[in-house]
Amino acid sequence: MWELCEDDLRPVSVGAAVLGSGGGGNPYIGHLRVRECLRAGRAVEVILPEELDDDALVAVCGAMGSPVVSYEKLPGGDEEPAALRQLERQLGRTVDAVAPFEMGGGNSMAAMVVAASAGVPLIDGDGMGRAFPELQMTSYLIYGAASAPSALADERGNVLVLSEVVDAGWLERIARAATVAMGGHAGVATTPMRGELCKRVIIPGTLSLARAIGDAILAADRSGVEPSDAVLAVTGGRRHLRGKVVDVERRNTKGFARGSLVLEGSDTDSGRTVRIDFQNENLVLYEDGRPVATVPDLITLLTAERGDPLTTEVVSYGVRADVLILPCHRLLRTPRALEVVGPRAFGLDFDAVLLEDGARPGAGAVR
């Protein structure tokens, strides 16, 4: 168990934004919200999954909605704690720990705010080891945790409970529609489960991993190491291209930010062109018309100079960026998981193109 301090926030939010693969919400606002909690004297205790009692009750917390909205409509701050309070009311007891459903600038921080507000530990891990656009895409739900009850809350005071859902896909569908009706952003508390199950299905150590990535980028910035090299040393994977963003097409539809961006290679990569398609998160990297990397592996962009992670909402024409491909966790590489988080789950007509296992130093093993 360790206690999160204010100095952790910058590296965690930078590293979580790298893992966010273009999505995961606005890191800056998340950062401010947690800092405010800490400064108000509320602690965020972090525990490893193996520290959970088998009988502990865990809930998964975060924010739902298109990340674009979080730039235009500031969250009120109590949505996620309110969702957890309602989930606890439904369960008839308080939870013993909370976990994020995803890593990403916004959602890793949102879970911290909930933990601090509820006075329970935050688990070092999450359900994606990255960010994905839909609720059913967590290792928790893929490997058998319950989709209901789940609770949603908005900043006005509307609170919703999904008491029973047919499956995780219906959780996503109904919660998404409600979130859109609520103005595009809602706090979510979901997937109540026992500690015993959580230990088996969580992607462990991803908060520490985010901090290590962030530390590496911030240290690189000071020492003259290439930021993307520093990240790859922590995560494994490879740099696919250094280039310049020459086109961005983005629309906010049905609660998602969808679109694509095109980069032209520079330096040793000049003459090459890649395209990245995204739905909140970067889904597929194409070169010469072929997918060369896909979900569930992480496709993430860093600015070439400083290693700032670029989310799909802020990336813009002319930015010089490195395109990195980082290996997803093994829990996302099983046939069962690929059905839920592989390209076909996003309506694409090809199989996952993943880094070879040799490319991975073992995500989650870092700390």
* Residue 176 binding a second copy, by CB under 8 A: yes
Compute how many residues bind a second copy; rule: CB under 8 A.
23
When binding is defined by CB under 8 A, the residue of 4, 122, 159, 285 that contacts a second copy is 159
| Cβ–Cβ < 8 Å for 126, 48 | no
Nearer to a second copy, 9 or 165 (CB): 165
What is the distance in angstroms between the CA of the first residue and the CA of the last residue of the chain?
A: 13
Sort strands 122-123 and 44-47 into parallel, antiparallel or unpaired: parallel
For the CB of residue 168, give the shortest distance to a second copy in the complex, in Å.
12
When binding is defined by CB under 8 A, the residue of 10, 42, 173, 244 that contacts a second copy is 173
Segment 81-120, which members bind a second copy (CB under 8 A)? 86, 89
Select from 69-77, 169-177, 324-332, 352-360 the region that touches a second copy (CB under 8 A): 169-177
* Residue 158 binding a second copy, by CB under 8 A: yes
Nearer to a second copy, 13 or 190 (CB): 190
Q: CA 138 to CA 191: how far, in whole Å?
A: 10
Nearer to a second copy, 95 or 180 (CB): 180
Residues 6 or more apart whose Cβ sits within 8 Å of residue 321:
242, 243, 244, 245, 263, 301, 302, 303, 304, 310, 315
Segment 134-153, which members bind a second copy (CB under 8 A)? 151
**Conformation bin of residue 131: beta by default, left when phi > 0, alpha when psi is -120 to 50:** beta
When binding is defined by CB under 8 A, the residue of 98, 162, 217, 331 that contacts a second copy is 162
Residue type at position 199: K
Sort strands 44-47 and 298-303 into parallel, antiparallel or unpaired: unpaired
Q: Given the rule CB under 8 A, which residues bind a second copy?
A: 86, 89, 151, 156-166, 170, 173-174, 176-178, 180-182
